[in-house]
Amino acid sequence: MQPKRILFVCLGNICRSPMAEGVFNKIVAGQGVQKAFEVDSAGLSNYHEGELPDACMRWHAEKRGYRLTHRSRPVTANDFEYFDLIMGMDEQNMRQLHRLAATPEQAAKVRRMTDFCQNLQASEVPDPYYGGDQGFENVIDLLEDCCQGLYEFLKK
């Protein structure tokens, strides 16, 4: 059976999307179903290409037991063919992803991360970059909730 392929996307691929990748990978590892999923992250900008996630995001992630080692990369046209789901973090990401989708089938793969919130209420996963420590903690809280909801949705 082919694994379910999920791509998490934010603007620069240094905060939210690599964190979502880390959270989702930890969930599937905890369930022992790593082989059922292929997970990656990417950014809509290539400004940080090749860089590790932001140092503040890595620090806050490590406090919760996540080790973020992904190297930033931009979204490519091939991603829309390869991945089953492309998860956008905010409204700007969603608009840009829909513009990049070449077909209605590709556009249908684009989903909003917060549509999978279970316990928290949010319309988007905000960029934590200017929110200080609490901004990073809030993003991790949201992503833990959304990723668990996404996992529950996909295992059905």
* Cβ atoms of residues 16 and 70 within 8 Å: no
* Cβ atoms of residues 19 and 140 within 8 Å: yes
Cβ count within 10 A of residue 77: 11
Residues in the chain: 156
User: How is residue 11 annotated by DSSP?
Assistant: S
Q: Which residues are catalytic?
A: 10, 16, 127
**Three-state secondary-structure class, residue 105:** helix
